[in-house]
Structure 1
Amino acid sequence: MTEERKVVLITGCGKGGIGYDYCKAFADLNCSVFASDVSHRLPDLADLQSEDNVETLELDVSSDSSVASAVDLVISRRGKIDILINNAGIGSPGPLAKLPLDAVRKAYEINALGQLRMAQRVVPHMVARGGGTIVNVGSVVGRVPTPWAGSYCATKAYVHAMSHALRVELRPFGVNVVLVLPGAVRSSFGSNNVERLKDCEWKIYKSFSKSITERAEASQSGKSMDAAVFARHVARQVLSSSPPKTIVYGHMTGLFRFLSWSPLWVRDLFFTKRFKLNKVVVR
C-alpha cells in the first residue's frame, strides 16, 4: 500500500516570495498543497494552478473569518491538514523612533498574530486526528535584531517565543512545531520593503536615508540563497520521519549565529559600522 499523501496548507504564496517555492517543493514531494494569499494577490498564484498537486485559495491571516473559512475549506475537500506552513509576512522597515505605529501594528498583526491565529484554528483538528506539524517561519533577525528593521525583528522574536512554547504545549498531543530561521534568501521581500519606504520622511534620520534603504534590501545581495533551494531543504526536513525543532538555513546564518553568541558591544559595533550609525549628527 502507498502512503497517504500529506495535505499541506501554506500561507503567503504570492509569486516572487518564498511561499511560492514552498508550494512547488512540497508538491514535488507528492504532497497535496493548498497555496493561499490575500485576494489582491491571488492572480500571482495563477501559475501554481497548472502545477500537479496544487490548489489555490484566498486567505488573509489577519482576519479571523478568512482563516476559519480557509481552514474549513481545506478540511472539507481533503478531510485533514497534516502540515501548516505559516509563511505569510510583511516587512516593516525604518527607524523605530519615527516608524508610524499603524505600520508597526500591521506587521505585528500579520507576522505575529497571523501565525498564532492560524495555529489556533488548525490545532483542534490536528489534536482530534492525533498529530500534525505546524511550521512557523521566523528569521535570524528574530534572534539578533538589526537597526532600521526593529519592528520586523520584534515580530519575528514573537514568533520564536510562541513556537518554543507551542512546541512543548502540543507535544502531548503528537503535534510537532518546527521553527524555520531563514538567513538571506532571494525573493521579492527586499523590493517590497523598498516600496514601503517611498515618500517616507524620517526627519531626524534624514541623513541616514541611504542606509535605511540599504537595510531594507540587505537580504537580497548577490550571495543570497536561491529561494527554490531553500524551500526544497525545508520541505525535506519537515517531511522527515522526525522533523527538527528548528531549521536554520540560508546565506549569513553563520554570521548571525556568531553575533547571537557575541557580547552586546561586539554586536553594537558591527551594526553601527554596517549601517553607518557611527557618525555624529549635528543639529
Structure 2
Amino acid sequence: MNNIFLCKTRIRIMSDPKVVLVTGCAKGGIGYEYCKAFAEQNCHVVASDIPQRMDDVVELSSEKIEALELDVASDESVSSAVEKIISKYGHIDILINNAGIGSTGPLAELPLNIVSKAWEINTLGQLRLVQQVVPHMASRRSGSIVNVGSVVGRVPTPWAGSYCASKAAVHAISNALRLELRPFGINVVIVMPGAIRSNFGSNSMEKLGNNDWKLYKDFKDSIAERAKASQGSKATDATVFARHVAKKVLSPRPPKQIVFGHMTGLFAVLSWSPIWVRDLFFSNLFNLNKKL
C-alpha cells in the first residue's frame, strides 16, 4: 500500500509544471526573454526584479508567469521571496540567477563603490539566492541552479575588469557548487553568453556619463566602445538565446555549461591562446598601444 502511495506521489510530482524562479526580469533584458522561453515549455515562471522595475515585470504576467518583487542584494528580500514561492507551490525546481549589472571603466580609477555594487549583485546576489533555495531542493533531492556568467569571466577585457572579475567569481562558485551539491541530486549549470542583444549595453553607457576620467581621459571613446561592445549588429537575438538555454536546462541531463551567442568562438580561441596573443589582440582593439 505504501509503495502504491509513493508511486502515485512521484507521478504527481513529475506531471506538475516545473516552478522556475528568474531574477532580473526587466523589459528589454535577457531575463524578460527567459521568462517567456520557460513558459513556452509549460513551466510556471516566477519573474522577479527590484521594486523600481516591477511595472516591466508585471507586463509579463499571464497564466504561466507571475511577478514577484525581489532584490538580490538584500538578505530579507531574497528570504521573503523564496518563502512566498515555497509556501504557494511547495518547491522551486529551477533557479535562473540572471540579475546583473555592468561595471565599465579603468580599474585604476573606477570608484570602489561602483565595483562593490557590481560584485554585490553579480556575484553575492547569486550566492544569496543559492543559499536560500538549496535547502528546499536538497529536501526533495532534485533541482537545477543556473548561474549566468559570461565569456569575459573566462577571458577578461580592458575597461571592464570589475565586471569580468565578478563573472569569473560566478564561474568559480558554480564549479565548486556543482560538486558540493551533487550528493543532493541538484544540477548546477553555468551559462556563458556571448554578445546578446539587450538593454545591457545602453544601461552601461548611461552609467559611464557619471565618470570624469583623469589618467584615462584620452581613452574616453575607447571605454565607451567597450561599454556597448556586446550590442553590435551581429549580436545574437535575446529571444533566440533564451529559448536555447531553456531547452538545454530542461533536458533530461542538463549540461554543465551552456556557451552560446555571437563571439563565443572568438573567446574560445582567446581562452586557449598564450597571454601575449590576448594582450596584443585587446591592445589593438582598445587603442592601448600608444604611450602617454
**TM-score w.r.t. length of structure 2:** 0.95
Answer yes or no: is 1:263 the counterpart of 2:274: yes
Q: Using the alignment, how far apart are the partners of 2:232 and 2:195 within structure 1?
A: 8
Q: 1:175 aligns with which of 186, 190, 204?
A: 186
Aligned to 2:24: 12
Aligned to 1:22: 34
* C-alpha displacement of 1:130: 1.2
Q: Report the residue type matching 1:97 in the other structure.
A: A
Tell me the SS of whatever aligns to 2:27. coil
**Identity %, equivalent residues:** 67
Q: Using the alignment, how far apart are the partners of 1:30 and 1:10 within structure 2?
A: 15
Aligned residues: 280
Question: Runs of at least 4 residues of structure 1 off by over 2 A?
Answer: none
Aligned to 1:151: 162
Answer yes or no: is 1:92 the counterpart of 2:92: no
Q: Using the alignment, how far apart are the partners of 1:266 and 1:130 within structure 2?
A: 45
Q: 1:48 aligns with which of 27, 35, 60?
A: 60
Contact 1:27 1:52 in 2 (8 A): no
Tell me the SS of whatever aligns to 1:70. helix
Contact 2:58 2:66 in 1 (8 A): no
Residues 156-200 of structure 1 show CA distances to partners (whole Å, capped at 9, x for unaligned) of: 000000000000000011000000000000000000000000131
Tell me the SS of whatever aligns to 2:215. helix
Tell me the SS of whatever aligns to 1:20. helix
Q: Report the residue type matching 1:14 in the other structure.
A: A
Unaligned runs of 5+ residues in structure 2 are 1-10
Contact 2:153 2:164 in 1 (8 A): yes
Q: 1:252 aligns with which of 255, 263, 288?
A: 263
Tell me the SS of whatever aligns to 1:13. coil
Q: Using the alignment, how far apart are the partners of 1:15 and 1:185 within structure 2?
A: 15
* C-alpha displacement of 1:45: 1.2
> C-alpha root-mean-square deviation of aligned residues, in Å?
0.8
Contact 1:59 1:70 in 2 (8 A): yes
Q: Report the residue type matching 1:128 in the other structure.
A: S
Aligned to 2:149: 138
Map 1:197-212 onto structure 2 (within 5 A): 197-212=208-223
* C-alpha displacement of 1:10: 0.3
Unaligned runs of 5+ residues in structure 1 are none
Q: 1:104 aligns with which of 93, 115, 123?
A: 115
Q: 2:47 aligns with which of 29, 35, 52?
A: 35
Q: Using the alignment, how far apart are the partners of 1:129 and 1:112 within structure 2?
A: 26
Q: Using the alignment, how far apart are the partners of 2:106 and 2:63 within structure 1?
A: 44
* C-alpha displacement of 1:278: 1.1
Answer yes or no: is 1:124 the counterpart of 2:135: yes
Residues 19-44 of structure 1 show CA distances to partners (whole Å, capped at 9, x for unaligned) of: 00000000010000000000001011
* C-alpha displacement of 1:54: 0.2
Aligned to 1:191: 202
Q: Report the residue type matching 1:141 in the other structure.
A: V
Q: Using the alignment, how far apart are the partners of 1:78 and 1:224 within structure 2?
A: 37
Aligned to 2:15: 3
Tell me the SS of whatever aligns to 2:196. coil
Greater CA radius of gyration, 1 or 2?
Answer: 2
Q: Using the alignment, how far apart are the partners of 2:182 and 2:47 within structure 1?
A: 27
